[in-house]
């Protein structure tokens, strides 16, 4: 059952986008909720549709084994009716501080990132930093620019709504 979604808090923290190296992209933002709750929204299977697409109704969580060595498969129905899949494996999990995984799109198995998410308490809030290390600059550049930022902004708006509802 999908969680009830409420209106997000006003004036969310700005998102910081950066490219720390030739092969990395990074996004950081403070969410107005305690670290345990933010970690749960980012890692619980029930919330994954909201993290993978601006259209959670198009997302199917086919597999989600949240443990080191566990695998996941997320299917997303596209506008044209086709389905894209993201496949991955959890490499490290340190609740509620850090998650490391490797994932890729089923059509580009050789260009998937190593993703590290850190969750840092900032007073009553939580800073989430997502860093993607990619195999080449072309793959890194796909995770940058206005299109990427629009997806991240939509994802963060949905996270704000989920956190307001939790």
> For residue 133, is pLDDT > 90?
yes
> For residue 74, is pLDDT > 70?
yes
| CB contact at 8 A, 124 and 32 | yes
For residues 72 and 141, the model is more confident at: 72
> For residue 7, is pLDDT > 90?
no
For the chain, domain boundaries: 16-54+93-165
> For residue 3, is pLDDT > 60?
no
Looking at residues 59-63, what average pLDDT do you find? 97
Find the helix or strand (DSSP H, E) in which 52 lies: helix 48-52
CA-based nearest residue to 157, from 58, 18, 31, 43: 31
Cα separation, 64 vs 45, in Å, equals 6
Pairing, β 98-105 against β 83-94: antiparallel
What CATH code is assigned to 16-54+93-165?
A: 3.30.530.20
| CB contact at 8 A, 156 and 51 | no
Q: Grade residue 166 by pLDDT with cuts at 50, 70 and 90.
A: low
The mean pLDDT of the chain is 88
């Amino acid at each position: 059952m999908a969680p009830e979604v409420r209106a997000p808090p006003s004036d969310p923290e700005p998102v910081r986008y950066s490219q720390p190296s030739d092969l990395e992209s990074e996004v950081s933002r403070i969410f107005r909720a305690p670290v345990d709750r933010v970690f749960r929204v980012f890692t619980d299977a029930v919330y994954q549709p909201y993290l993978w697409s601006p259209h959670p109704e198009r997302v199917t969580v086919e597999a989600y084994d949240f443990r080191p060595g566990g695998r996941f498969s997320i299917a997303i129905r596209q506008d044209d009716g086709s389905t894209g899949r993201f496949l991955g494996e959890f490499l490290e999990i340190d609740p509620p501080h850090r998650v490391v995984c490797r994932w890729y799109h089923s059509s580009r198995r050789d260009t998937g990132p190593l993703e590290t998410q850190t969750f840092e308490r900032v007073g009553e809030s939580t800073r989430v930093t997502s860093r993607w290390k990619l195999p080449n600059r072309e793959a890194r550049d796909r995770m940058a620019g206005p299109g990427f930022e629009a997806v991240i902004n939509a994802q963060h708006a949905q996270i704000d709504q989920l956190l307001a509802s939790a």
